């Protein structure tokens, strides 16, 4: 379980881990390595075979069939340590495969967290761009009023209009950037990239510095 102090991010990390096809493959590889380890360990233990069969013969005075049973025990003496080495190799292979799986989980969690933080940042920039557009819109209104009463020239009005257009263009770029981050994060989560995943409006509080 990965803890970020953000329940929404933690839920997204679990979703990404659950829906990632590469992680599903890594999990199956861990299961395979575990089975190989069990098989290698079983070779060190004795094998017992037993059977029961009816002979079809009858003993005088006893009409029922006679049953015969047999039990055999086989065991390969591991004189040169071949089986022990096989088990040890299988154990190391399992540990390596498990490490690969854990590494894949960590990589997915890290990528999801980075994507989430980028989405929050992009939304904050978009909100700031909206504020800037509002400010330049109000400024243009003030300049137009001053122009009507003769306090400023037509040039001042044109400059205010140009500032507003630049702010609107920057706001459009911020919106496109936010949508791109949303789609990238949705793809990582295994969702359709529709830019519908809304990020938080601000970052969560971080722990204070360690003394």
Asked whether 181 and 116 are in contact (CB, 8 A), the reply is no
Gap between the Cα atoms of 192 and 185, Å rounded: 10
Residue 62 main-chain phi, psi, to 5 deg: -130, 100
Encoding tokens for residue 199? 């990020």
Gap between the Cα atoms of 120 and 178, Å rounded: 9
Gap between the Cα atoms of 126 and 115, Å rounded: 16
CA angle 158, 164, 168 (to 5 degrees): 145
Measured N-to-C along each axis, helices 7-19 and 82-148 cross at an angle, to the nearest 10 degrees, of: 130
Q: Mind listing the pLDDT tens digit for each residue in 161-209?
A: 999 999 999 999 999 999 999 999 998 888 898 999 999 999 988 777 7
Cα radius of gyration (the chain) = 36
> Phi/psi class of residue 64: alpha, beta or left (left: φ > 0; alpha: ψ in -120 to 50)?
beta
Encoding tokens for residue 104? 């894949």
User: For the whole prediction, is pTM greater than 0.85?
Assistant: no
Encoding tokens for residue 205? 């509080």
Could you tell me how many residues make up the chain? 211
Residuewise pLDDT in 10s, the chain (211 residues): 678 888 999 999 899 888 887 776 655 555 665 665 565 555 445 555 555 555 555 555 555 555 555 555 554 544 455 556 666 666 777 777 777 778 778 888 888 888 899 999 999 999 999 999 999 999 999 999 999 999 999 999 999 999 999 999 999 999 999 999 999 999 888 889 899 999 999 998 877 777 8
């Amino acid at each position: 379980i990965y803890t970020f102090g953000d329940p929404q991010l933690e839920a997204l990390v679990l979703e990404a881990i659950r829906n990632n096809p590469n992680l599903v493959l890594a999990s199956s590889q861990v299961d395979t390595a575990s089975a190989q380890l069990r098989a290698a360990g079983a070779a060190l233990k004795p094998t017992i075979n037993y059977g029961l069969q009816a002979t079809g013969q009858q003993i005088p005075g006893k009409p029922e069939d006679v049953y015969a049973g047999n039990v055999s025990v086989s065991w390969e003496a591991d004189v040169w340590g071949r089986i022990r080495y096989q088990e040890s190799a299988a154990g190391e292979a399992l540990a390596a495969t498990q490490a690969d799986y854990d590494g894949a989980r960590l990589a997915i969690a890290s990528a999801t967290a980075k994507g989430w933080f980028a989405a929050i940042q992009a939304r904050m920039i978009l909100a700031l761009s909206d504020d800037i557009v509002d400010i330049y819109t109000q400024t243009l209104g003030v300049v137009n009023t001053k122009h009507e009463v003769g306090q400023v020239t037509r040039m001042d009005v044109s400059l205010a209009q140009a500032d507003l257009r630049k702010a609107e263009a920057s706001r459009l770029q911020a919106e496109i950037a936010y949508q791109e981050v949303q789609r990238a994060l949705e793809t990582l989560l295994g969702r359709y990239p529709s830019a519908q995943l809304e990020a938080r409006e601000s970052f969560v509080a971080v722990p204070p510095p360690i003394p």
